[in-house]
Amino acid sequence: MAKLKIKSTTVLAVYHKGKMALGADGQATMGTTVAKSHVKKIRKLSEGAIITGFAGSTADAFTLLDRFDEKLSAFSGNLKRAAVELAKDWRRDKYLRQLEAMMIVADKNEMLVISGTGDVLDPDEDVASIGSGSQYAKSAALALKKHADHLTAEEIVRESLTIAADICIYTNHNLVVEVL
């Protein structure tokens, strides 16, 4: 039996004017069918000091979130160290290598994109995105940061995700945004 390819989600993080905002749409898609329209893909960890967003298989993402939370505890909340250690495990571990998901993790000062290929990326221009509509959301966020300085980080994330949802069939308008 062929493996069902799951496409869903747009996750976007923006650091702007001293605030970190991370948001995602709420759509989960299986093939060409919307499976659910109100999925929460944003989680707070470390007593609310860290926010995470995931794209990909939900079960895989929750496994990775649990592992990331363990790494945060092991490294006293050090975001970068926990991310690097998770990426190492994800790359090396036979079980974890099979997981199909990506994550954005952020604290009040930095954001990182973590992938199963061992990447831990510190994005340029204080904008990170993952998922099906990520390039639409990222493009919108970069333009808004540059040309709409009156907006807050949360407003940029909401508007950018709305633009992505208008274009990407795997992204909807049911948004969840967290701010640090």
Q: For the chain, how are helix, strand and coil distributed in percent, rounded to 5? A: 40, 30, 30
Residue appearing with tokens 């994550």: 103
- Element spanning 70, H or E: helix 58-74
Distance CA 62, CA 95 (A): 14
Q: Of 9, 10, 29, 171, which is the active-site residue?
A: 9
The helix/strand/coil state of 150 is coil
Task: Respond yes or no: is residue 10 known to be catalytic.
Answer: no
Cα separation of 27 and 10, whole Å? 9
DSSP 108: S
Q: Which residues are catalytic?
A: 9
